[in-house]
């Protein structure tokens, strides 16, 4: 038994008349028709357009000129560090006014150099150096404020800055000790000279920068001497 299906007949267009409602094919990547044909199509006719420089280009250049360098943005003034270092190198002409603005960039640099020279001597003292400097700053702060009483205006931050900058002679001593035999008499003699140098500069800065320090000059110098004598022991032994 067979089943019949009613299939409608297929009618082909005869002649050249296209089928109604049929869209003609277009070439690929062609822009849609524009209402105004004189306007360029930006996606493909970039060469036909004139790209002018923005009017605010000069403002951008002026803005970059006014931007501070990265070190100054971080609060590191290299010129000020160099001036403070040069003043420490001459113990008889210390410019006290340069050290009125305390900072920790120069002290950190000197402490890292001191630790590096100790490392070249076979001694790993980075943690000890940073710890001793912190304790030394607190020690000098307590001693000075106990002596000056209510008139003392020396804070821990300034103490840390002064002690760190005055570590420069000890750093030089650590570098020179690499050229001498450990335990020689010359090392002890150099130690006495550089400890006295650091003590003289640090005590002078503390006395002149902080109020009520002239009355206790000897005790302040003694406290500074103990601090730098402790660091010189790391170099000698």
In a domain, 24, yes or no: no
- The count of structural domains within the chain is 1
* C-alpha distances in Å from residue 229, one per residue of 132, 195, 197, 213, 215: 12, 6, 11, 22, 24
In a domain, 200, yes or no: yes
In a domain, 7, yes or no: no
Question: Mean pLDDT, 10 residues at a time, over the chain (237 residues)?
Answer: 62 54 56 54 48 51 62 77 93 89 94 96 94 96 88 89 97 95 89 96 92 84 96 94
Residue with tokens 């105004």: 36
pTM of the entire predicted model: 0.71
Sign of the alpha-carbon torsion through 185, 187, 191, 197:
positive
Q: Which domain holds residue 201?
A: 77-236
Q: What is the pLDDT of residue 46?
A: 47
């Amino acid at each position: 038994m067979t089943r019949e299906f009613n299939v409608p007949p297929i009618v082909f267009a005869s002649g050249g008349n296209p089928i109604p409602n049929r869209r003609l094919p277009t070439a690929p990547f062609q822009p849609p028709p524009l209402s105004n044909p004189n306007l360029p199509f930006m996606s493909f006719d970039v060469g036909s357009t004139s790209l002018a420089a923005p009017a605010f280009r000069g403002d951008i250049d002026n803005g970059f000129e006014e931007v501070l360098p990265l070190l100054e943005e971080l609060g590191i003034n290299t010129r000020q560090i160099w001036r403070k270092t040069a003043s420490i190198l001459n113990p008889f002409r210390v410019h006290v006014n340069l050290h009125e603005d305390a900072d920790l960039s120069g002290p950190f640099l000197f402490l890292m150099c001191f630790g590096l020279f100790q490392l070249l001597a076979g001694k790993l003292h980075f943690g000890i150096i940073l710890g001793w400097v912190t304790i030394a700053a607190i020690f000098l702060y307590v001693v000075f404020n106990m002596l000056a009483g209510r008139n003392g205006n020396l804070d821990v931050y300034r103490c840390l800055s002064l002690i760190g900058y005055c570590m420069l002679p000890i750093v030089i001593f650590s570098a020179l000790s690499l050229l001498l035999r450990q335990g020689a008499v010359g090392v002890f003699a150099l130690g006495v000279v550089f400890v006295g140098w650091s003590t003289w500069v640090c005590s002078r800065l503390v006395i002149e920068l902080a109020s009520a320090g002239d009355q206790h000059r000897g005790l302040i110098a003694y406290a500074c001497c103990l601090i730098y004598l402790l660091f010189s022991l790391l170099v000698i032994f």
